[in-house]
Amino acid sequence: MKTRTARAGAAMAALGAVLGAIAIGAPPAAAQEDTKAEIERYREMLQDGNPAELTVLRGEGLWKEKRGPKNASLEECDLGKGPGVVQGAYAELPRHFADVDAVMDAETRIVHCMVALQGFDKAEITKRPFSGTGQRATDIEALTAFVVEESRGVPVNVPQQHPKEIAAYQRGERIFHYRGGPYDFSCASCHEGENKRIRLQDLPELTKSGPAQLAFTTWPAYRVSQGALRTMQWRMYDCFRQQRFPEMVFGSEASIDLITYLGVTAKGGKMDSPAIKR
Amino acid sequence: MADPMKIRASAKGDVVDVRVLMAHEMETGQRKDAEGKTIPAWYISEVVASLNDKPVLKAHWGPAIAKNPYMQFKIRGGKAGDKVTISWVDNKGDKRTDEATVS
Q: How many CB atoms lie within 10 A of CB A192?
A: 16
| Number of domains into which chain A is organized | 2
The answer to whether residue B1 is domain-embedded is no
Specify the length of chain B in residues.
103
The answer to whether residue B29 is domain-embedded is yes
Is residue A270 within 8 A of residue A214, CB to CB? The reply is no
Closest CA to A226 of A174, A277, A169: A277
* CB-based contact A51 B21, cutoff 8 Å: yes
Q: Does B40 touch chain A (CB under 8 A)?
A: no
- pLDDT at position A30 is 67
The answer to whether residue B90 is domain-embedded is yes
* CB-based contact B70 A49, cutoff 8 Å: yes
Q: Indicate whether A17 and A38 sit together in one domain.
A: yes
Q: Does B48 touch chain A (CB under 8 A)?
A: no
Q: Indicate whether A21 and A128 sit together in one domain.
A: no
Q: Indicate whether A177 and A203 sit together in one domain.
A: yes
Helices (H), A184-252: 187-191, 209-217, 232-242
- pLDDT at position B3 is 84
The answer to whether residue A37 is domain-embedded is yes
Cα B63–chain centre separation: 14
| Number of domains into which chain B is organized | 1
Q: Indicate whether A86 and A38 sit together in one domain.
A: no
The answer to whether residue B58 is domain-embedded is yes
State the DSSP string of A157-193.
Answer: -----SHHHHHHHHHHHHHHH--BTTTTB-HHHHHSS
Closest CA to B71 of B97, B52, B47: B47
The answer to whether residue A28 is domain-embedded is yes
- pLDDT at position A25 is 47
- pLDDT at position A114 is 94
As a whole number of angstroms, the distance between CA A151 and CA A148 comes to: 5
What Å distances lie between residue B10 and A51, A143, A197, B17, B99, CA to CA?
Answer: 20, 28, 41, 5, 13
* B72: β partners: A2, B19
Q: Indicate whether A99 and A205 sit together in one domain.
A: yes
Q: Indicate whether A155 and A32 sit together in one domain.
A: no
Tell me whether residue A239 is one of the annotated catalytic residues.
Answer: yes
Q: Which residues of A touch B65 (CB under 8 A)?
A: 3-6
The answer to whether residue A82 is domain-embedded is yes
The answer to whether residue A93 is domain-embedded is yes
Q: Does B21 touch chain A (CB under 8 A)?
A: yes
Q: Indicate whether A82 and A101 sit together in one domain.
A: yes
B19, B59, B68 member nearest A51 (Cβ)? B68
The answer to whether residue A1 is domain-embedded is no
Q: Which residues span the domain enclosing B13? A: 6-101
A2, A9, A49 member nearest B21 (Cβ)? A49
- How close, in Å, is residue B81 to chain A by CA atoms? 22
* CB-based contact A61 B4, cutoff 8 Å: yes
Residue B48: give its domain's CATH number: 2.60.40.10
Q: Does B23 touch chain A (CB under 8 A)?
A: yes
Is residue A255 within 8 A of residue A248, CB to CB? The reply is yes
Q: Indicate whether A69 and A33 sit together in one domain.
A: no
- pLDDT at position A158 is 95
Q: Which residues span the domain enclosing A235? A: 52-277
Residue A220: give its domain's CATH number: 1.10.760.10
Q: Indicate whether A13 and A77 sit together in one domain.
A: no
Residue A171: φ, ψ to 5°: -65, -40
* pLDDT tens-digit profile, chain A (278 residues): 556 554 444 444 444 444 444 444 445 566 667 877 887 887 777 777 788 888 999 999 999 999 989 999 999 999 999 998 999 999 999 999 999 999 999 999 999 999 999 999 999 999 999 988 878 889 999 999 999 999 999 999 999 999 999 999 999 999 999 999 899 999 999 999 888 888 877 889 999 999 999 999 999 999 988 889 999 999 999 999 999 999 999 999 999 999 999 999 999 999 999 998 88
Q: Which residues of B touch A145 (CB under 8 A)?
A: none
Q: Which residues of B touch A57 (CB under 8 A)?
A: 3-6, 23
The answer to whether residue B81 is domain-embedded is yes
* CB-based contact B3 A58, cutoff 8 Å: yes
As a whole number of angstroms, the distance between CA A172 and CA A169 comes to: 5
Q: Indicate whether A173 and A241 sit together in one domain.
A: yes
As a whole number of angstroms, the distance between CA A227 and CA A231 comes to: 13
Query: Is the ipTM, as predicted for this complex, more than 0.95?
Result: no
- How close, in Å, is residue A233 to chain B by CA atoms? 24
CA-angle at A125, arms to A156 and A146, nearest 5°: 35
